[in-house]
Amino acid sequence: MPELPEVEVARRAIEDHCIGKTIKRSIVANDSKVIEGVSASDFEAALVGKTIVAAYRKGKNLWLQLDSPPFPSFQFGMAGAIYIKGVAVTTYKRSAVKDTDEWPSKYSKVFIQLDDGLEFSFTDKRRFAKVRLLEDPTSAPPISELGPDALLELKSVDEFVESLSKKKTAIKALLLDQSYISGIGNWVADEVLYQFVMQAKIHPLQIASSLSRESCATLHKCIKEVIEKAIELGADSSQYPSNWIFHSREKKPGKAFVDGLAPDLAYFSPIELFIDCSPRKKIEFITAGGRTTAFVPDLQKLSRNQAANAVSKPQKQSGRKKGHKDDSDNDDVDEPASDEDKIAESVKPKKGAKSRGQGRTFPAKRKSKESDDDDDNTEDNDGEDDEDQKKVTNNKQLKAEKTNKKKVPTGKNGKNAKKKAK
């Protein structure tokens, strides 16, 4: 999903091309799921005739300051994107609207034409975004509930070290907590933990408070550098350094590897150029913070104490079924197993066993309409992944209850059944 770098690049594009111009025309989609709290006609009326004064961002949210309130606010969700006609703006691949598509796109939620003829649009292919019209975006949820911005408001090293020392949760889950630090999503968190400078890599399930001061300081630096590098490259993932785990994180388990390549010299300082140049290392996938997480076990290891404690504790029964695959881009997916369960799973010795999810073939399951969102030709689906999953679960529960009722005879029929059995 779009994270801080993608949203910041969109903000800068608006700042470069739209500031000081007046909105001549606006078309807002009649979609109450995305356009929140206001009708399409009222939204359009509030924009026309207004001048765009500034474009702001916090975390994964962007809003436009007009010459008078209210102001349009955009929460990008899973596939939100800004398109400016005739201007190259990098978009998240799952948001992509092709140049050959109609304009404005059928996925457009807010279309704006400026007084000089320039046109731009906020699109959302999967309808998880939220567009609002607010008097003061910074004082209303979700922006008012966000923690410091990972690019603009990152805590000082001392403050960061102090805050981590009080957190008893896995480090990746903490990085994904938007109330702790805003803007870091799944791929940025994976990259930060993998691209830990000096190769002192952090396991995604390492408890935050167990990190040394030196590790915390290095993590602080890595957050800043990964985000700044991504923005510098226009959030164009094809241009990211070749040794970033990003390029392999979406491959299938057992088929994802990262090369022991030398780092980008422009990215690391001379003192940081120590790197493991050994052959390819395998990428494995676990769940951390409720999200599918890519990491390199050979490099990203739990501390000895935490690994030992995890192995010694019995694992709780997980609510997940074998063969089930997470939607790696759904921020709202709840993971039934605890961090401790996941830690134990990741360090549990396996004699000759293959990595989780490999080897055994499971029967095919019903695939939700939204799951195959990598196909750019996919139509906009009205269904939600989580809603579909709930329906399937409820149906299974109802069937199970009916089956149980049939098996357990009650009343007179039950008595007759027992007599016949005798």
Q: Which residues are catalytic?
A: 2-3, 60
Q: Is 171 in a helix, a strand, or coil? A: helix
Task: Summarize the chain as % helix, strand, coil (round to 5).
Answer: 35, 15, 50
Which DSSP letter does residue 260 get? -
What is the b/e burial string over 411-422, where b = at least 16 CB atoms within 10 angstroms of the residue's CB?
eeeeeeeeeeee
The one-letter code for the residue type at 164 is: L
Listing DSSP states for 3-61 in one string gives: -HHHHHHHHHHHHHHHTTPBEEEEEE---TTTB-SS-HHHHHHHHTTPBEEEEEEETTE
Return the amino acid letter for 110. Answer: V
Buried b (16+ CB within 10 A) or exposed e, 270-305: eeeeeeeeeeebebbbbbbbbbbbbbbbebbbbbee
d(CA 23, CA 120): 11
Q: Are 210 and 219 in contact (CB under 8 A)?
A: no
Rounded Cα distance between 63 and 52, Å, is: 11
Q: Which amino acid is at 215?
A: S
User: CA separation (Å) from 145 to 33, 208, 292, 341?
Assistant: 21, 22, 25, 30
- Per the CB < 8 A criterion, the answer to whether 339 and 169 are in contact is yes
Greatest C-alpha distance within the chain: 92
CB 37 within 8 A of CB 86: no
Residues 6 or more apart whose CB falls under 8 angstroms from that of 140 comprise: 132, 134
